[in-house]
Amino acid sequence: MKKATFVIAVYNDTATLNETINNLLETVSLNDVDIIVVDDANTLNPAEVDRAKDITIFKNPERRGVGYSLDFGIRQAKTDVVLPMGCDIRFSGDWFPRFYQVVKTHPRAIVSTVTAGLNVDRRFLQGKENHYHGAHILFHVTTKNNNRVLPFREYLEAKWNNKLQGELVPIGCVLGAFYGANRSWWTKIRGFEGHVTWGTLEPLVSLRSYINGGRCLLDLNTVTGHLFKSASSTKPIKDLIYNKLLVAYTLLPEDMEKEVFDWAKTLKYGDGALRLFEQNKPLLDELRQVKNSLNDCELRRRIKPTGILNE
């Protein structure tokens, strides 16, 4: 019986996908896991995937983004434990048995690994000086808490934590493009539902875990590598702004929600984001139900561990 399902989202990056799958299969056995790849309407040809016979590949009929792709793959999973990830993750050693057990025994949490930054031409994990210990969420981004502030990223950004101590510790926000969860919990919090194309993925799913009475955890004994890439200038900025409106409308107290919407109205691509918000309003009203069921005091208590209420 399989223990877990890896769900990999990919968009126009077959070479990196092949490296990731081959590396993953050096550290886990197909007797224990399933691997699902969701192709986000790109040029991926299954014949170009080195281990296509060992995995299941789905293709979105049109581009829907990494959040939708991961949610779709998780819905196809047959195991209780799911491990959503990007196509640019690297693994080392006998990491899987422990991490699987941590995820399985914490059914109301999203569990992150320590993230090791890798150069684009590196396959193996680097020294501990490049290790990142999960994240917290910045509500308002300024030059005091992030020296690379862009106008369209002034709100709701994840920032790496300082180094943490222990074995399994609470964190405000998962980050690093690889984490684990029980499928039932992912379904309950509705994963990335409502998200479009790119941006604000981890703050969204982390806040959803907390607002539903769960949490986010960091397994300090498990390290995965991430091939960090520079941000693409071709990504639609209005989609990133819309995703911040999604978070504000469905998860944040009314005063914080208003501040994000007022900010969006000042931005170059804000009108497009607000139009997209209106188009998706019926779904967003449905996703807002948990927030509506909580008074402001309880809502703030639940989201406080994310760091989003800190100055």
Q: What is the mean pLDDT of the chain?
A: 93
Angle (CA) 147 150 155, round 5°: 90
Binned at pLDDT 50, 70 and 90, residue 121 comes out as low
User: Is pLDDT above 50 for 99?
Assistant: yes
pLDDT per position as a tens digit, 278-305: 999 999 999 999 999 999 999 999 999 9
Give the pLDDT mean for 131-150. Answer: 89
**Single-letter amino acid, residue 256:** M
pLDDT at 42: 83
Cα–Cα distance measured from residue 42 to residue 48, given in angstroms and rounded to the nearest whole number: 13
Give the pLDDT mean for 203-230. Answer: 93
Give the pLDDT mean for 183-209. Answer: 97
Give the pLDDT mean for 23-40. Answer: 96
Give the pLDDT mean for 54-79. Answer: 96
Rounded percentage of the chain residues whose pLDDT exceeds 90: 81
Binned at pLDDT 50, 70 and 90, residue 47 comes out as confident
Type and span of the H or E element at 198: none
Cα–Cα distance measured from residue 245 to residue 287, given in angstroms and rounded to the nearest whole number: 13
Angle (CA) 222 54 66, round 5°: 60
Cβ distance 132 to 224 under 8 Å?
A: no
User: Is pLDDT above 90 for 183?
Assistant: yes
Q: What b/e readout covers 257-295, taking b as 16+ CB neighbours within 10 angstroms?
A: bebbbebbeebebbebbbebbeebeeebeebbebbeeee
Give the pLDDT mean for 32-41. Answer: 96
Sketch out the chain's domains with CATH numbers: 1-87 (3.90.550.10), 237-306 (no CATH)
Residue of 177, 159, 185 whose CA lies nearest to 82: 185
Cα–Cα distance measured from residue 130 to residue 225, given in angstroms and rounded to the nearest whole number: 10
How distant, in Å, are the alpha carbons of 45, 63, 96, 197 from that of 9? 14, 12, 20, 12
pLDDT at 147: 75
User: Is pLDDT above 50 for 233?
Assistant: no
For residue 19, the SS3 value is: helix
Cβ distance 65 to 10 under 8 Å?
A: no
Type and span of the H or E element at 33: strand 33-39
Cα–Cα distance measured from residue 74 to residue 53, given in angstroms and rounded to the nearest whole number: 20
- Token pair in block for residue 19: 């490296």
